[in-house]
Structure 1
Amino acid sequence: MSDRLIIDWPAWTASPAGRYVLGWEQEQLDRVVSNVFGYHALQLGLPQLDALRENRMSCRGLVLDAASAASAPYSAPGASAHPHPNGGQTMPGAGGATQDRSPAAGETSLLHAPAGRSTVWCDYLDLPFEAQSVDLIVMPHTLEFTSDPHRLLREAERVLMPEGQLLIVGFNSLSLWGARQSVGKLTGHPFLPARQDLIAFTRLKDWIKLLGFELERGRFGCYRPPLATDQWLGRYGFMEAAGDRWWPIFGAIYMVTAIKRVRGMRLVGPRKVKKPVLAASLKPAATTPSPTRNKDT
């Protein structure tokens, strides 16, 4: 896709449609991540959305790549050249990759890091974390901006601990918003800021199941038509309740929660050894005594 067909995320999230979508996503993520426990949580991309705001893990990190820096310059308030947030606490296995980025000359519209967060700059397709070291990974629209979404899912599976949770938020291709995006790409005027083609919900389910995840729940939302003004979006507010009841799978946004399952042997108790069944002892066949003959002596 050429650069002229790519909508800038910060500009789109400031639009009425963007505020509508991010408001629904923030509400759903706040509800879900508040019940996920552990030690380490990661948000991959989209710094305009604070996906881990309601999570209570001690070490939470925001992972950004070069594309995030180009589209949305990011820094921590008062950050020095290479500070360590959280009082020197770093993400597991990140080593020197954990750092905050100070704003360069001429950068504007800086996004500030939430309090108590680590910031990791890296390539999404080569996450600098140890295997089985993270309890929760949230990917808000991350798959729609990477060149290899299946490889990114494999990286997430690698760094997640057994029973760790993966939350994926994306645009639903089977919706009015997905239809408008398809038409807009043909005419050169896309409606959604997705660098790659939208990933169908059914296709995503097949991918995560293939990697050993178990789909826990799926949620759809944002049933209003893809309109560009607050006035028209407000007129179709009645479609939220109607869509959630009558056509739930056609919402503009889907959120998938999956759990990493590790198959293996499991001891359920002492092994009971069965005694071998011995063959019945052989007995001589019963014979009838032959009649004795009287012999003349």
Structure 2
Amino acid sequence: MKPSKQFNSEHTSANPAAPADWFHHPIGQMVCQEEQTLYDDWVSNLFGYHALQVGAMPLDLLRNSRIQHCFRSNAAQPDVLCDSAFLPFQQHSLDLLLLPHVLEFSPLPQQTLREAERVLVPEGHVILTLFNPISPWGLRRMMGCGRSTIPDLWSAQFFAMPRIRDWLALLGFEVLQTRMLCHAWPIHSQKMAQRLSWLAPLGLKCWPVAGGVYAILARKRVVGMHIIKPGWQSLRVAKKLATTPNKKQISHRVKQK
């Protein structure tokens, strides 16, 4: 696992809750809208007993889940407060874990994925959403545009999808689905964003891999684990134990009747 650069932001270190601020900007609202639709679709097909949403995203991404016990951490109304890199849960205790934009703002993104592997049950699922560096969003971050407007967003780490897939594979995860979101240009002005809204469907059609956000659905696989099936198999009786009735036995039974 190639180590990531240490996340360092003076603004974020002074205000630990700062990464949640950018969700209230027009760009953040667009991200929230598209990701809510994605999570509503994906979580509806996942089952289990316990699910956890981690991160500062002010949305209930588990609202469409069929899992009975759903919890949120570090959200607007958290059920539990915890660090994503050190989750206060026992090993193999969660069936579903949501990490929306957690790795970008975490000083220990690899440790966060290790914790995901630890707390998930075998065949459990994790859903991640991250910003795509190979997109207009990544280009804007590289050029340093908008750092004074939304410093939390553009100071975050942008990880390419192949890198995250590699980390997941090393931890024993199998990637089931991926999807690109947010093909609109990251413009802070709401009026300008409305004028250029036609670029979103064009981008989805012409350069689908250049979405500003990508999502990954992965399943935890355990090497050597197999499903134990019921042992309803017919057993062959040894020839010495198997007896075939002869004519005398049959006639004797008939006389008794």
TM range (shorter): 0.7 to 0.9
- Choose from 37, 51, 62 the match for 2:72: 62
TM-score by length of 2: 0.77
- Equivalent residue, structure 2, for 1:236: 196
Partners of 2:187 and 2:37 lie apart in 1 by 21
Residues 20 and 56 in structure 2, CA contact (< 8 A), matched pair in contact too: no
Note the aligned Cα RMSD (angstroms).
2.5
Letter in 2 for 1:163: E
1:215 aligns with 2:157: no
How far 1:125 moved relative to its partner? 1.6
- Equivalent residue, structure 1, for 2:3: none
Partners of 2:216 and 2:63 lie apart in 1 by 18
How far 1:190 moved relative to its partner? 6.8
- Equivalent residue, structure 2, for 1:12: 22
How far 1:20 moved relative to its partner? 0.9
Residues 29 and 51 in structure 1, CA contact (< 8 A), matched pair in contact too: yes
Residues 182 and 212 in structure 2, CA contact (< 8 A), matched pair in contact too: yes
How far 1:240 moved relative to its partner? 2.5
Label 1:245 to 1:10 Cα distance change in 2 as closer, same or farther (>3 A).
same
Structure (1 or 2) with the greater helix fraction: 2
How is 1:128-277 mapped onto 2 (pairs within 5 angstroms)? 128-184=88-144, 189=148, 191=150, 193-194=152-153, 196-264=156-224, 266=226
Q: Helix, strand or coil: the match of 1:120? A: coil
Residues 53 and 99 in structure 2, CA contact (< 8 A), matched pair in contact too: yes
Residues 182 and 190 in structure 1, CA contact (< 8 A), matched pair in contact too: no
Partners of 1:192 and 1:262 lie apart in 2 by 40
Partners of 1:35 and 1:239 lie apart in 2 by 31
How far 1:47 moved relative to its partner? 4.2
* Structure 1 consecutive aligned stretches of length 4 or more whose deviation exceeds 3 Å: 4-11, 187-192, 265-270
Letter in 2 for 1:3: E
Larger of the two Rg values belongs to structure: 1
Partners of 1:236 and 1:56 lie apart in 2 by 38
Residues 94 and 120 in structure 2, CA contact (< 8 A), matched pair in contact too: yes
Partners of 1:196 and 1:18 lie apart in 2 by 14
Q: Helix, strand or coil: the match of 1:215? A: strand
- Equivalent residue, structure 1, for 2:248: none
Residues 181 and 191 in structure 1, CA contact (< 8 A), matched pair in contact too: no
How far 1:236 moved relative to its partner? 2.3
- Equivalent residue, structure 2, for 1:49: 59
Residues 183 and 190 in structure 1, CA contact (< 8 A), matched pair in contact too: no
Q: Helix, strand or coil: the match of 1:193? A: helix
Residues 5 and 188 in structure 1, CA contact (< 8 A), matched pair in contact too: no
How far 1:200 moved relative to its partner? 1.1
How far 1:5 moved relative to its partner? 7.5
Label 1:149 to 1:2 Cα distance change in 2 as closer, same or farther (>3 A).
closer
Label 1:190 to 1:262 Cα distance change in 2 as closer, same or farther (>3 A).
farther
TM-score by length of 1: 0.67
1:3 aligns with 2:10: yes
1:127 aligns with 2:134: no
Partners of 2:28 and 2:152 lie apart in 1 by 10
Residues 136 and 166 in structure 1, CA contact (< 8 A), matched pair in contact too: yes
Partners of 1:224 and 1:248 lie apart in 2 by 11
Partners of 2:147 and 2:69 lie apart in 1 by 42
Partners of 2:82 and 2:163 lie apart in 1 by 27
Label 1:10 to 1:31 Cα distance change in 2 as closer, same or farther (>3 A).
same
- Percent identical among aligned pairs is 37
How far 1:246 moved relative to its partner? 2.1
Aligned length in residues: 219
Gaps in structure 1 of 5+ consecutive residues: 65-73, 75-110, 114-118, 271-297
1:32 aligns with 2:32: no
Residues 5 and 190 in structure 1, CA contact (< 8 A), matched pair in contact too: no
Label 1:42 to 1:207 Cα distance change in 2 as closer, same or farther (>3 A).
same
Label 1:146 to 1:11 Cα distance change in 2 as closer, same or farther (>3 A).
closer
Deviations 1:117-171 (A, max 9, x none): xx12122222111111111000010111111101110100111111111100111
